[in-house]
Amino acid sequence: MEGVLTDLMELMRKGGIVMYPLVILSIISWVYIIERLVNLRVSAFLPSNLSEVKVLLQKLDVDGAVKVLSLNRDPFSRALSLVLEEYLRGNKRKAELLSIMESELSSVVPAVEKNLMLLSAIASIAPLLGLFGTITGLIKVFSAYASVQTEEATRLLAAGIGEALTAAATGLIVAIPALLAYWIFRNMGNDIIDKVEREAKDILSLLE
């Protein structure tokens, strides 16, 4: 562990000042990636007992379906409970029930897309920071030739090029996982939203 920390500190020294914000962005992006891996799943948005609810609705046992849904805490169950309660009060117009369902499920989209824009921002900012580090490293290279003797200039040349390449590589190392995770979670989120919408329409079609 101590050796890893030593290597990390040496890498940060070689990469220059931009390494500090890049490391912070990397930590933040992996926190968001882990959060999405844990929370972005179909079971968080659709109840596990949905098939039981459908069977009850096919038997026109709306009261029973409401009782089963009351055991859940997901947004779909809450929205469907409100729709079924409205149905029990005598409102059987499908268009109005669908409108209620869509209104209640509007909270699903922000929950599905949570932290995705931040991952996208990190994927955009990290390469720019890496580019900035590259430029500062090259500036050191040219300054070395302008201000010192040849032998010292060679040493500063190596240090400047090393800083430029380290910063550029680190920017890409931070950006690539963040960008890849953004698109994966974006597609997963779209699939979840589509599935929620399909289930909502299928259930409403069971109501007489």
Residue 4 has pLDDT above 60, yes or no: no
Per-residue pLDDT tens digits for 13-37 = 666 778 888 989 999 999 999 999 9
Q: What is the pTM of this model?
A: 0.80
Rounded to 5 degrees, φ, ψ at 61 are -90, 75
**What's the Cα-to-Cα distance from 95 to each of 39, 57, 87, rounded to whole Å?**
32, 18, 12
| Identity at 170, one-letter amino acid code | T
pLDDT of residue 9: 63
Per-residue pLDDT tens digits for 100-120 = 888 888 888 888 888 899 999
**What's the Cα-to-Cα distance from 35 to each of 22, 59, 140, 188, rounded to whole Å?**
20, 40, 40, 14
